[in-house]
């Protein structure tokens, strides 16, 4: 009898992808979408994000946003939480200096909209 990969290996699910074992737990887990960095690089795994944060300058590394991002990474890696939580933490830290500005010219105008039939009846009556 030939030693075969588990059934999941043949169809590409579980711990096997194309017959080769893949880490889907811990620090080797991939983000659903890679996180783009300012100079064109990307963070693909939780480990990549953790290494990126630890290599930041000390003053930046100690910012509250980066500390929260690292905490989210550790929680996701150790308790098999959704990688989206870690991604959100890293994205918030990367964009912490970006200010959201409201642009009133983009707001939809509702002037001249048709009134409801019930409103037209009370106005005519």
Name the domain count of the chain. Answer: 1
Q: Write down the residue that tokens 């737990």 correspond to.
A: 25
What pTM was estimated for this model as a whole?
0.62
- The answer to whether residue 77 sits within a structural domain is yes
Q: Tell me how far apart the alpha carbons of residues 53 and 66 are, in angstroms, rounded to a whole number.
A: 7
Domain span including residue 62 = 25-99
Whether 57 maps to a domain, the answer reads yes
Q: Is 58 exposed, middle or buried (0-12, 13-18, 19+ CB in 10 A)?
A: exposed
Q: What is the pLDDT along the chain (125 residues), one digit of tens a residue?
A: 444 444 333 333 444 445 445 456 789 999 999 999 988 899 999 999 999 999 999 989 899 999 999 999 999 999 989 999 999 999 999 998 888 777 777 766 666 666 666 766 665 55
Establish if 125 belongs to a structural domain.
Answer: no
User: Quick check: is 5 in a domain?
Assistant: no
């Amino acid at each position: 009898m030939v030693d075969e990969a588990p059934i999941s290996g043949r169809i590409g699910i579980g711990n096997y992808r194309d017959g080769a074992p893949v880490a889907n737990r811990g620090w080797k887990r991939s983000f659903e979408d890679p996180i783009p960095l300012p100079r064109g690089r990307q963070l693909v795994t939780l480990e990549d994000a953790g290494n990126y944060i630890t290599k930041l300058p000390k003053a930046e590394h100690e910012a509250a946003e980066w500390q929260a991002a690292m905490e989210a990474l550790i929680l996701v890696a150790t308790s098999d939480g959704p990688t989206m939580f870690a991604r959100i933490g890293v994205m918030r830290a990367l964009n912490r200096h970006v200010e959201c500005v409201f642009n009133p010219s983009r707001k939809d105008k509702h002037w001249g909209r048709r009134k409801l039939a019930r409103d037209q009846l009370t106005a005519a009556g």
